[in-house]
Amino acid sequence: MSEAERLLHQALAWKREGRKVAIATVVTTWGSSPRPVGSMLVVDDTGRMVGSVSGGCIEGAVVKEARAVMDGAPPRLLDFGVTNEQAWEVGLACGGKVQVWVEALT
């Protein structure tokens, strides 16, 4: 089973436990991004998470957005990169740019 399939299985398992679940997925990359397109991070409302969308530098910001979509916000496309102020703050140290799609499992 691929990593992405394992992560989706985990997302379904948490959902069936009655948790709120959000899925973040890398949808585009430029330059030296640490994780390829299709990489996923699965988060639940107790703070558990599996997978990754970067080398660890943007996960914090992504989890914050994940909580918002879990609470009913529409799916969001997040931009991270050296030209982006937020990215500078969260420190995408690799110098790459990524876009991450964050959605709830509903």
* Site residues (vs another protein, CB under 8 A): 1-2, 4-5, 8-9, 11-12, 15, 23, 25, 27-28, 36-38, 74-75, 77, 99, 101, 103-106
Q: Which residue, 5 or 93, has its beta carbon nearer to another protein?
A: 5
Q: Shortest approach of another protein to residue 58 CB, angstroms?
A: 18
Closer by beta carbon to another protein, 46 or else 106 = 106
25 in Cβ contact with 7 (< 8 Å): no
Q: What are the CB-based long-range contacts (under 8 Å, 24+) for 79-87?
A: 80/54, 81/30, 86/61, 87/58
Least distance between another protein and beta carbon 106 (Å): 6
Strands (E), 8-73: 21-30, 40-44, 49-51
Q: How far is the CB of 27 from another protein (least distance, A)?
A: 4
* CB burial of residue 100 (10 Å; 0-12, 13-18, 19+): buried
What counts of helices (H) and strands (E) characterise the chain? 3, 5
For residues 84 and 91, which CB has a smaller minimum distance to another protein in the complex?
Answer: 84
CB nearer to another protein: give 5 or 85: 5
| Least distance CB 105 / another protein (angstroms) | 5
